[in-house]
Amino acid sequence: MTAVLDTRTATGPAPLRLGALTVDPAVVLAPMAGITNPAFRTLCREFGAGLYVCEMITTRALVERNEKTLRMVRATAEERDAFSVQLYGVDPATVGRAVEMLVDECVAGTRPAHVDLNFGCPVPKVTRKGGGSALPWRRRLFEDIVTAAVRAAGDVPVTVKTRIGIDPEHHTYLDAGRIAQDAGAAAITLHGRTADQLYSGTADWSYIARLVETVDIPVLGNGDVWEADDALRMVAETGCAGVVVGRGCLGRPWLFGDLAAAFAGSSSRALPTLREVAAVMHRHATLLTAEHGEQHGCADFRKHVAWYLKGFSVGSATRRALAMVSSLDELAELLAGIEDQPYPTAVLGEPRGRTTPPRPVALPEGWLADRDDPRPPAGAELEVSGG
């Protein structure tokens, strides 16, 4: 793949150690609903190295052995030594049971090397019931959930992912970090936004730096890592032990190769031509087809088209056709008809994926009244995995 040289010489952090698991480079693929399935994880792994987390798995659905959830939690052959699962749950007993199923019963087909707990989801359907990024406000409940997961996991490292807080008046990240550390969490990831920001504006990395100063466990930084040099800058500015990448890799799985190079001190960065991007697109669709069958695999691939083609000069008719593709042969024919062109460097560093505007966080009535209420929020358990 075509590469460009820049003048950066900084290196990234040391390999990340989570219990017996070593993540080198210290780069983690953030769970994204409908995105980080086995096909996308495989594609990212082919370009780089790190830890690739599956789509969010809800503990209730796992405990109830929901068929879709059991399929989603299956590890691929390439993940046998480093299968990573993110769990969402609001009840300590259910979370503990779900971790037991993963670690002791190996319902994923292999014993996971790492379990992450989601306390960062900001979407209203989750926060209005007290889940996701709303839950750390109830610090005793948060403590009970993390404790239950760590106890059930045994020697499998458990980490926590959260946000700064609910809004500017209700920060939770420092308490969450201290509690997670005391409960035995191996690391904590902080997204530099509050829940009311959703994915708007700019992530504030200064909160990541403050959390690094507050806790002894590794802190991973998340938010607005669009390019490898952003990751270097985040590490330099915050002292974080690694980075978690979400939207930045949408339509750009080669970003993980850039990150591996940057963390090793190399200035090599990938700038694929449109022909090279087309090959990656076809590979992605092929992996999805192998997983879901051609019809469903190609249908699932459609949402990736705009991300892959961002900034390229491709006619609207061709874009529409690609967004309706139904077979690998059709995809190959459409891609072959596009004239090759260099990578559009103007889009480097630009946001990708969701850019929803900020809005007040929907919370259960009385949620903010008692931070030490340990009761799980009623009706907050999700029945479907993936977000």
List pLDDT tens digits, range 360-375.
Answer: 999 999 999 999 999 9
Q: Does 22-264 match 274-342 in CATH topology?
A: no
86 is in an annotated binding site: yes
Per-residue pLDDT, 331: 98
341 is in an annotated binding site: no
Confidence check: pLDDT of 110 > 90: no
pLDDT band at 7 (very low <50, low <70, confident <90, very high): very low
3-class DSSP state of 299: helix
**Catalytic machinery residues:** 121
**Mean predicted confidence (pLDDT) in 27-53:** 95
**pTM for this structure?**
0.95
129 is in an annotated binding site: no
Nearest to 253 by CA among 31, 48, 38: 48
**Mean predicted confidence (pLDDT) in 34-58:** 94
- pLDDT one-digit tens code per residue, 320-374: 999 999 999 999 999 999 999 999 999 999 999 888 899 999 999 999 999 999 9
Confidence check: pLDDT of 4 > 50: no
| Separation CA 290–CA 6 (nearest Å) | 38
31 is in an annotated binding site: yes
Query: How many Å from the N-terminal Cα to the C-terminal Cα in the chain?
Result: 33
- pLDDT one-digit tens code per residue, 271-314: 999 999 999 999 999 999 999 999 999 999 999 999 999 999 99
Q: 86: which 2 tokens?
A: 């993110």
161 is in an annotated binding site: yes
Which distant-in-sequence residues (6+ apart) come within 8 Å of 157 by Cβ? 18, 19, 20, 21, 113, 114, 115, 186, 187
Contact between 162 and 189 under an 8 Å Cβ cutoff? The reply is: yes
**Mean predicted confidence (pLDDT) in 174-178:** 98
Confidence check: pLDDT of 166 > 50: yes
Domain with residues 22-264, CATH architecture: Alpha-Beta Barrel (3.20)
191 is in an annotated binding site: yes
- For tokens 């607005």, the residue is 224
Contact between 127 and 365 under an 8 Å Cβ cutoff? The reply is: no
Confidence check: pLDDT of 2 > 60: no
| Separation CA 321–CA 331 (nearest Å) | 9
How would you list the strands of the sheet with 27-29, edge to edge? 51-52, 27-29, 242-245, 219-222, 187-191, 158-163, 114-119, 84-88, 57-58
Give the bridge partners for 86, in sequence order: 116
Answer CATH for 274-342 from 1.10.1200, 3.30.1390, 1.10.10, 3.40.50 = 1.10.1200
33 is in an annotated binding site: yes
Confidence check: pLDDT of 71 > 70: yes
Sequence ranges of the domains in the chain: 22-264, 274-342
